[in-house]
Amino acid sequence: MPRDIDPRLLRAFTVAAEELHFTRAAARLYIAQQALSRDIRRLERELGADLFVRTTRQVTLTADGERLLPYARRVLAAQDELLAACAGEERPLLVDLNSEGMVSGRVLARARELAPRHELMARFESGLTGAAVAILAGRLDASFGYFEGLAPALRSGLSRQLVRYEPMAVLLPYDHPLAERAEVPLDALAGEYVYAGAGNPGTVEWTELARQLFAGRSIEVAPPAPMAVGAEEFRRVMEKHRTPVLAVLDFPAMPGAVLRPLVDPVPLSPLSLVWRKGPNHPGVAALRAAAAGLAAEEGWLERPPGSRLHTTVTPLMHGNP
């Protein structure tokens, strides 16, 4: 066993463990795939253990790889903290809000009031899976979304705090037959294709939640389509494809579409604040306090009458260390 391990090898291992795909991992690290494979083999030699099982169809972690992953993350987090401290000034906290006009924006605004000396900057990754990868890579600090829908390798490096049970809704073309209703019963979507981010690697957790919601109801997740960014692009794509879109009740207004709450039952999406385990920017504490305060004031963690949670949520209300 070597006395010292190059942090570069641990970073290569950690990214490969998160992606479970050497081509994508190499792209994240801005190196050639051959260089990534070489680093992984070197680390395996130094540790005297195989870390991955590689076949032509998939890459998985071995038991030794699973054991190494949390330790590698802690070493890299400590290195990042050291570099930040040596920089001599506090960097901004980068907070992914997914989209403008959502509950996450209100949490950020409250956190800025609670921590006026710190700089909290908004980012828009549009999907928790993509944001989680960026958090673990150090490109983001926090995000919001459906934590339980993340892959286990991502969840193991993250902490979360349940913020709200969000009532779900559907965006409909303004002249869709169901658009005339004030509320849309879930079963009224039977026979429809509903867009839920299928094919977008950054929104895997949302697509999985949609599949759970639609199971047994003859509602299909719409096939992959280009992701519309911005109101004008949304209007154009909605006009062209005319596909209903799964959303939450607080989703901002979009041109060419109407937002209708889903009922019978009211499906709920568990929204969590998510950040990397280990030492963190002081702004994370402000985000957690802001989320808890707003949840208490507005009853965000109370389930409305006639609602249903279509997934299992671990009973973690105040975050984990």
| Domain residue spans of the chain | 7-86, 93-165+269-309, 167-267
Query: Do residues 219 and 190 touch, judged by C-beta distance below 8 A?
Result: yes
CA dihedral 129, 195, 199, 308 (to 10 degrees): 40
pLDDT band at residue 77, thresholds of 50, 70 and 90? confident
Note the CATH number of domain 7-86: 1.10.10.10
Amino acid residing at 295:
A
The span from the CA of 165 to the CA of 307, in Å, is 10
Global pTM?
0.72
pLDDT tens per residue across span 246-291: 999 998 888 888 999 999 999 999 999 999 987 678 889 999 999 9
Of residues 118, 101, 91, the one with CA closest to residue 250: 101
First to last CA, the chain: 30
Query: Do residues 39 and 12 touch, judged by C-beta distance below 8 A?
Result: yes
Superfamily of domain 167-267: Periplasmic binding protein-like II (3.40.190.10)
Q: What is the CATH architecture assignment of 93-165+269-309?
A: 3-Layer(aba) Sandwich (3.40)
φ, ψ at 311 (rounded to 5°): -160, 165
| CATH topology identical between 93-165+269-309 and 167-267 | yes
- The helix-helix angle for 22-29 and 33-47 (nearest 10°) equals 100
